Every structure is written in C-alpha cells, then in structure tokens.
Chains A and B, each alone.
Chain A
Amino acid sequence: MVCVAISPSRPRLLWAGLLKQPDCAHAKALVRAFLWRQCTRPAAGGTAVAISQTTRESGRSVRLASSVGSRAMSETEGAACGQSLGDRAKTVAEMKLILQTVGFHWHIVALEEVFSLPPSVLRCFAQEPSGTKGAYKAAVDSFLQQQHAPAQGKEGLSQPGTQDPQNPSAPPSAAQTEAQPPIAAQTEALSRLFNSVKTLTAKEELLQTLRTHLILHVARTHGYSKVMTGDSCTRLAIKLMTSLALGRGAFLAWDTGFSDERHGDVVVVRPMRDHTLKEIAFYNRLFAVPSVFTPAIDTKAPEKSSIHRLMEAFVLRLQAQFPSTVSTVYRTSEKLVKAPRDGSAGGPPGPRCLLCMCALDIDTADSATAFGVQTLHLSQMQPPTPPAEAPTTPCCSARVGGAQGCCQGAGPCGRQDPRAHVIEQLCYGCRVNMKDVPSLDPLPPYILTEAQLRSQRAWVLQELQEYLIEDSDDEVQTGES
C-alpha cells in the first residue's frame, strides 16, 4: 500500500488524468508522468497535499489523501492577509474539484488536528502495518506480471504496485474523508502556538514538523506504507543548504535523499528530485495542469526574515550567475549516507529526537565541538554561582549538560524543569529551534506526553541498570518505543 503525500511549501503536486494513457515504456517515466503533476506557479502557497494510493487485491483503487496543512497557518496570518474561514472553505472547495477530476480517493485534513494526535505518532515502528503486507506483495506480483517488465530500480518502493493504467477508472469507493470544519478551540490553540514563536525560521520549522507528524498519522491510520512528496531538485538543493545552516548536517541524507525511512513503517519517498522547478513549470504549462494557490506562512515576508527565505534567494541568485549551482548541490547530496557517527554504527540504535525522529547527534561527553562550546562556556564563566541555576538563567535550554545532572537526581517527575526534559531529548537542530519558543505549553499535548514518557523510561532504566542483563533481545527491540 502506498500513501503518496506531498507537502512542499511552494510547488504543489496534484493528480492529473494521465492514468488514462495506457502505454509507457519506462517505468520511471511511468511513475512520474502517471503519478505526478506539479503545479508550480512561483507564488504557489503552502498547502500540503498528501496523496495516497493503495492497491488492494480486489481492485486497484487508489486513494488520495490531501492534508490541507498550512491552511491553519494562513489563518494565523490570515487575519493580516484577510484570510477568513470563508476563504479557507473556498480554497478547500477548489482543491476538492481538482482532486475529483483525478479520480483517486482523497482525504482532507486540517492542521488543527495535530491537537488530537496520539503520542504514538512520535514512535518508530519497525515493520509495516501487518495487515497490509500480504496484500501489497500480491498486488506487486500481479502488477509485474501484467507489465511484463523487469522490476526497475528501487524495488522496495511501491511504484510498480501503485499504478494501474489498465483500470484507471475504478470508481472511488466511499473512502474519501473530508475535513470536518476545524474546531474553533483548536484553531485558536494553533494560532496561539504560532504566535508565541519568536522567529519566522522557528515557525517554519515547527510547521514542517507538525505537518510531517500529521501526514504520518494519516498514513498509519489508513494503512499506507509509503508517502511521496513532490520536492523538486531546486527545492531539495535549497533545503540542503538550509539544513546545513540550521545545524542538521548529520541528517542531510534523510532530509534530502530519495527515501527517508526514519519513521520505520512509513517511508517517505521523493520521486521528483531529479527535476528542476523550471522543467516542472514547463510541464504544467504544456499539459494545462490546474493549480490552487494559498498564501503560506512566509508569503510576502522580507528576504531577511528567515533562514529559509535567505537561502532560497541566495541559491536562486547564485544559480543565475553560475548555472550549475543547483545540480552541483544535488549531486553532492547524492554522496551523503545515512550513517550515524563513525564508530557507533555497530551498536544498538541510540535515542531518537522527539520531534524529527532522527538519531540524536549530540554527544555531551565530547566538549571540543560546537555544541560543547555553547554549553561549556557559561559554566566556565561563573565559578562563584552554584549550579542550581536551571530555571533562572534565560538560556537554560543551552545548559542541558548541567540541567541533566540536577534533574535526574531529583527523579523523572519533571518538577525541576519540564522544559529541560523536553529539550534534552531533541537533536541539535531542534534544540536551536526551541530556543525561539519561549514556553512549551502551547505545544500540542502529544509532544509533551511523549517527552514525559521517555524521560520517565530513561530514569527507570537508569535505576534498574545494575539489575538488567545486557544484550538481551528485548532490550534492543524496545529501545525505540
């Protein structure tokens, strides 16, 4: 089963009726041409469209899920931009029209629903949802027989199994779900959350995180095992440079590579990553692909307002002067691997970041690093003050090293500093973002619950360390959840 989710901020992917074309020799082109149309009006807004398709034994029905991700975000600046509930409803209606012409199943989900997500979203499951495995395999086998073509490229991905040019018009059975109009309290909570974030960079990152979690949740509930996003070559080059600047150098391969398996059972795939924005724009123009525009969180923001905007402007400007810039960065990204730090590859999987779910890239023991310098110099500078400073200093989020010491002794109940408990479970990039979030209360409850759960578990493990026998299989498997 494949869930194709698209959540780019600018280019937007929608289905088009190319399924009706029967023959295409190259499977890759098949995937692209048949699965994707990308609307790339330069100012296309940030509505996330998640498309999912699933193959079943009975018929090749394809479901489409679209999550109107940044709708709520438009709402927060919507008051300033004049986006009201009426505008949102109008955009949703436009999107529905387009989705219906495509002929797939679809879902529309509002971002406010992050407030009702369960904490299990943040956990990584090892296998695919069990019910779908057999069905998927059977579907792939029968598709391959039909195509009479050898399996191409990445067999693990579901592309061969997802399309069905012979029966494009399997009537979408009653699996479309439409967004309930969002609950006002949740909308308000969302706008409160985003208004409390100080910088646009942190807002964009938070939006990205919440959107990912929501799409993940939708994919899991409906049993989709793959999620496809429509990031183009240009977008990914910009994303790579932005990730560098945000301190996510360790995770570049996951953020910008072809497949992203950090969530375990749901794999995020980026099939469009070989095409530049310009190619896609031409394609859409030539084939008259309809598109919907909504303002994003950073529409009309000045260039210097966030790191994302800066990088985008920089890369595009450099591209004008040195036309090989984007392809050079893209080629470099292909040389990245998903290795953990050298030397720790053999051990059991380490703890994962609470928000982005990548293996933590912070080593508190090694202080001759950029992270070490940021946490160390304060303690060096203040020998007279005793270390009981965690709640009082403004940069307590940077003093995780110290806070860890005093909190763990007091127990996991978070009475010392709940913020420190959350912060210490984040990777470097997420920590830097959290510095711009002054209070963790407006965050959706599933994040806070999971953070508490994990820190309790860590405390319990530490207490029981001496009694546990190492190297048992249970230990390794449950190390994740």
Chain B
Amino acid sequence: MPAPPCASCHKARAALRRPRSGQALCGTCFCAAFEAEVLHTVVAGRLLPRGAVVAVGASGGKDSTVLAHVLRELAPRLGISLQLVAVDEGIGGYRDAALAAVRRQAARWELPLTVVAYADLFGGWTMDAVARSTAGSGRSRSCCTFCGVLRRRALEEGARLVGATHIVTGHNADDMAETLLMNFLRGDVGRLARGGGLGSPGEGGALPRCRPLHLASQKEVVLYAHFRRLDYFSEECVYAPEAFRGHARDLLKLLEAARPSAVLDLVHSAERLALAPSARPAPAGACSRCGALASRALCQACALLDGLDRGRPRLAIGKGRRGLDEMGPPGLHRGQVQTPASEAVPSF
C-alpha cells in the first residue's frame, strides 16, 4: 500500500505518523515541525535571551544529542552561543563509551566540549566507589540519589568554567511525567513545589536552568534523531534497574497505552499543582562549605559527600538528616515515615 502524501508539503511521501496527532508527514517536514515547536517553547517561555552563553548538559544519550542538535540549528535565530558540558561520573563500562560518543558529536558539530569528572570535583568519589560504599546496607542501593545530586553540582561547575549564563538539559515530556508520578508516590512535596513548569529561574546565584524539550514526547525525540541520523549512545546505566523511577516509568508506559495523551495530561497537571505555602521549600541560602545554593546549612551535595566520607552513606538521604553537624531549622519534612527506597533522579 503506497504511503499517503505528506500532510504538510503535499509533495513527498509520508514517512511517519506523528505520535501525538496521527498526522502523516515526510521526514523533512517532521524535523521542521519539531524544531519549530522547540523554538516556540523557548521564545514563548522566554527561556534563553539573546546573547546568552548556553551550556548544554551532554551525556551522549538521545535527549541531549537531539537538544544540542536542535539548539545548534536554532542558535542563529535565537542569538545564543553553545557550549557542551559532559559529566564523567566514573561508571565503568558505561560512561566511557558515552563520553566517546559525546566527543564524536562535538567534533562533528564543531562545538567546544568540556568534561568534568566526579573524581576531580568530589575528592576521588566516583559512582562506582559510591555504589560499593552503599552496597552493603541491606536495602537496595541508593546510588541514583547520589549521582543525580552530584551531577547537578558538576554541571554547574562545568558551566561556570566555560563562562555560561544558562544551563539547558534534555529532559523530555516523559521525564517530566515520570518525575511528577514519582514525587507524589514518595511524598516529596519540596520537589513538587520546585519542579514542574519550565525549570528554575536561578535564585541565589545559581545559573538558571531550563528544559526546552519538556513538551516533546520521547517518541518524537527518537523519531527526530532517526531522521536526522544522529549518532548517540543508547544503553542504559548499569545501576538503573534499581531506581525507584523504574516503577513510574512502567506506569507511564501503561497509561500511555490506555490513553495516548496521558503524558501531556500529566505535564499539564504538574504545571497546575497548587501546594500550600507551608509546603514550599525554604528560601535559598548559601551552603556553609562550598557557597552553593542551599536551603539548609549544608547543600545536598556537601551533605551527601559528608556521609560518604564518614562511612555512613545514608546520612543525608531520607528525612531528618540526623547526625549531620548542621544546626539547620527543624525542617519541613521531619517526620517518622521514611520514604520508600529513596532512589531518585534528584531535583530539577
């Protein structure tokens, strides 16, 4: 059966159906539409002003590859300049292969690449070392918690190194939906209040972060990468199966099967959540050790590293943060109930 003509240019044969609308489009028109939508998100949300130096968090995976590619196409129109920042968490067998992909991309696109490594920034703690340290605690490992917090910090450091004014990451709509589900299931009101929407505006000296792809569904990102023949690294992290996010991910897959617009419905819900003022996180201060943005005396990264150095990796995880030598406020979330297996990709 011959393919129908493209619904947009009416000339070429349609090569795909858009997951969202079922429209039949040819490859070129789809890529053009995708880029137009990202442009619209950035412009309508006023995410990246002219003259911004934008640090793209590049992991070598499909999302950051597509993001970098699209932003590179749109850079002249937006008036921004791009820098690639890659983070080396020190996960053997996974991160090195991903970094090789990032280097290839940087060479192809002729964009400056900076690699920051955990081992350098965090006193020799690589993710493998963290995983070994947390392995013996009986409950499932919480290395994803560490990885996420430390990666945010590493990205910030890398961005400052290259003199960037904004950080962008490639989170797509599916990621946002999963995060919302996960935060509700774990009762993480602080993250619910902070997350959702377009990103953080950058309070207290932290660089503003945004997610231009957050309204694009994962399937469309993959389709775009396919049609533009982008070279990316597609394996899953070695530690991923233990993460709590897996539950949310499975649920999202089922929901999408039951109702195709479920992902965007969840994103809409996330945008419109109304939380009580008492649930909002405390106003930002500065960490007493490293000076970074923190809502308590110690920022989460320093707190986690503190716990690792003391041989008690779970010190800063979960509620209460008992035992840390900080005289923080009684805290919004100090309660009796421990969150279940506190793995998570941390704050957005």
Interface residues of A (CB under 8 A from B): 199, 201, 240-241, 243-250, 252-253, 304-307, 310-311, 314, 318, 321-322, 324-325, 327-329, 331-332, 335-341, 361, 366-374, 376-378, 380-382, 384, 395, 428-429, 432, 435
Residues of A near B180 (CB, < 8 A) are: 244
Residues of B near A325 (CB, < 8 A) are: 185, 340
**8 Å CB interface, B297-334 against A:** none
The answer to whether B247 and A318 touch across the interface, beta carbons within 8 angstroms, is: yes
The answer to whether A371 and B268 touch across the interface, beta carbons within 8 angstroms, is: yes
Q: Does B85 contact A (CB under 8 A)?
A: no
Report the bound CA distance from A240 to B265 in whole Å: 14
Chain B: minimal CB distance from A468 (Å): 30
Q: Could you name 25 residue pairs across A and B whose Cβ atoms are closer than 8 Å?
A: A199-B259, A247-B265, A247-B266, A249-B272, A304-B257, A304-B258, A305-B258, A307-B258, A310-B255, A314-B247, A321-B340, A325-B185, A328-B186, A329-B187, A332-B184, A335-B189, A370-B173, A370-B215, A374-B20, A376-B40, A377-B20, A377-B21, A377-B37, A395-B21, A432-B265
The answer to whether A374 and B261 touch across the interface, beta carbons within 8 angstroms, is: yes
With A246-B265, A314-B247, A329-B185 known, 17 other A-B pairs at CB within 8 A are A240-B184, A245-B265, A249-B268, A250-B269, A252-B273, A322-B340, A325-B340, A327-B337, A328-B187, A335-B279, A368-B44, A370-B264, A370-B271, A372-B44, A373-B264, A376-B40, A377-B20
Determine the residue in chain A with the shortest Cβ distance to B247. Answer: A318
Determine the residue in chain A with the shortest Cβ distance to B270. Answer: A249
Chain B: minimal CB distance from A243 (Å): 8
The answer to whether B44 and A367 touch across the interface, beta carbons within 8 angstroms, is: yes
Residues of A near B21 (CB, < 8 A) are: 377-378, 395
Q: Does B347 contact A (CB under 8 A)?
A: no
A341 contacts which of B265, B272, B275 (Cβ < 8 Å)? Answer: B272
Determine the residue in chain B with the shortest Cβ distance to A330. Answer: B187
Determine the residue in chain A with the shortest Cβ distance to B267. Answer: A370
Chain B: minimal CB distance from A441 (Å): 24
A322 contacts which of B25, B215, B264, B341 (Cβ < 8 Å)? Answer: B341
**8 Å CB interface, B3-38 against A:** 7-8, 10, 20-21, 23, 25, 29, 33, 36-37
Report the bound CA distance from A328 to B20 in whole Å: 33
The answer to whether A250 and B273 touch across the interface, beta carbons within 8 angstroms, is: yes
Report the bound CA distance from A305 to B257 in whole Å: 9
In the A-B complex, list the 10 residue pairs whose CB atoms are closest, starting with the nearest. Answer: A249-B269, A322-B340, A247-B265, A250-B272, A328-B187, A368-B44, A370-B268, A368-B45, A370-B267, A335-B279
Report the bound CA distance from A369 to B181 in whole Å: 18
Report the bound CA distance from A340 to B274 in whole Å: 8
Chain B: minimal CB distance from A146 (Å): 36
Interface extent on B, as a size class? 35 or more
Chain A: minimal CB distance from B3 (Å): 18
Q: Does B338 contact A (CB under 8 A)?
A: yes
Residues of A near B186 (CB, < 8 A) are: 328
Report the bound CA distance from A6 to B330 in whole Å: 40
Residues of B near A311 (CB, < 8 A) are: 251
The answer to whether B251 and A324 touch across the interface, beta carbons within 8 angstroms, is: no
Chain A: minimal CB distance from B187 (Å): 4
Report the bound CA distance from A376 to B36 in whole Å: 11
Q: Does B129 contact A (CB under 8 A)?
A: no
Report the bound CA distance from A321 to B246 in whole Å: 14
Determine the residue in chain B with the shortest Cβ distance to A367. Answer: B44
Residues of B near A340 (CB, < 8 A) are: 274
A338 contacts which of B37, B273, B274, B338 (Cβ < 8 Å)? Answer: B274
Q: Does B237 contact A (CB under 8 A)?
A: no
Interface residues of B (CB under 8 A from A): 7-8, 10, 20-21, 23, 25, 29, 33, 36-37, 40-41, 44-45, 173, 180-181, 184-187, 189, 192, 198, 215, 247, 251, 254-255, 257-259, 261-262, 264-279, 337-341
The answer to whether B40 and A367 touch across the interface, beta carbons within 8 angstroms, is: yes
Report the bound CA distance from A135 to B274 in whole Å: 37
Residues of B near A310 (CB, < 8 A) are: 251, 254-255, 258
Report the bound CA distance from A361 to B269 in whole Å: 10
A368 touching B276 in the complex, CB below 8 Å, given contacts A245-B265, A310-B251:
no
The answer to whether A244 and B37 touch across the interface, beta carbons within 8 angstroms, is: no
Report the bound CA distance from A153 to B41 in whole Å: 47
Residues of B near A327 (CB, < 8 A) are: 337
Chain B: minimal CB distance from A151 (Å): 24
The answer to whether A328 and B265 touch across the interface, beta carbons within 8 angstroms, is: no
Residues of B near A246 (CB, < 8 A) are: 265
Determine the residue in chain B with the shortest Cβ distance to A247. Answer: B265
Report the bound CA distance from A380 to B36 in whole Å: 8
A381 contacts which of B8, B189, B257, B278 (Cβ < 8 Å)? Answer: B8
Chain A: minimal CB distance from B322 (Å): 19
Residues of A near B340 (CB, < 8 A) are: 321-322, 324-325, 328
Residues of B near A371 (CB, < 8 A) are: 268
A332 touching B187 in the complex, CB below 8 Å, given contacts A249-B268, A324-B338, A324-B340:
yes
The answer to whether A307 and B255 touch across the interface, beta carbons within 8 angstroms, is: yes
Residues of A near B268 (CB, < 8 A) are: 247, 249, 369-371, 428
Determine the residue in chain B with the shortest Cβ distance to A374. Answer: B264
The answer to whether B185 and A249 touch across the interface, beta carbons within 8 angstroms, is: no
Q: For B181, B269, B276, B337, which residue has the most chain A Cβ atoms within 10 angstroms?
A: B269
A244 touching B261 in the complex, CB below 8 Å, given contacts A249-B268, A310-B251:
no
Chain B: minimal CB distance from A67 (Å): 29
Q: For B181, B259, B275, which residue has the most chain A Cβ atoms within 10 angstroms?
A: B259
The answer to whether A314 and B261 touch across the interface, beta carbons within 8 angstroms, is: no
Residues of A near B275 (CB, < 8 A) are: 335-337
Chain B: minimal CB distance from A337 (Å): 5
Chain A: minimal CB distance from B17 (Å): 13
Report the bound CA distance from A428 to B56 in whole Å: 33
Report the bound CA distance from A428 to B264 in whole Å: 11
Determine the residue in chain A with the shortest Cβ distance to B23. Answer: A381
Residues of A near B276 (CB, < 8 A) are: 335-337
Report the bound CA distance from A371 to B21 in whole Å: 14
Chain A: minimal CB distance from B194 (Å): 14
The answer to whether A368 and B41 touch across the interface, beta carbons within 8 angstroms, is: yes
Determine the residue in chain B with the shortest Cβ distance to A200. Answer: B258
Determine the residue in chain A with the shortest Cβ distance to B214. Answer: A370
Q: For B273, B274, B341, which residue has the most chain A Cβ atoms within 10 angstroms?
A: B274
The answer to whether B337 and A324 touch across the interface, beta carbons within 8 angstroms, is: yes
Residues of A near B23 (CB, < 8 A) are: 381
Chain B: minimal CB distance from A237 (Å): 9
The answer to whether A245 and B20 touch across the interface, beta carbons within 8 angstroms, is: no
Residues of A near B254 (CB, < 8 A) are: 304, 310, 314
Chain B: minimal CB distance from A435 (Å): 8
Chain B: minimal CB distance from A314 (Å): 5
Report the bound CA distance from A249 to B268 in whole Å: 7
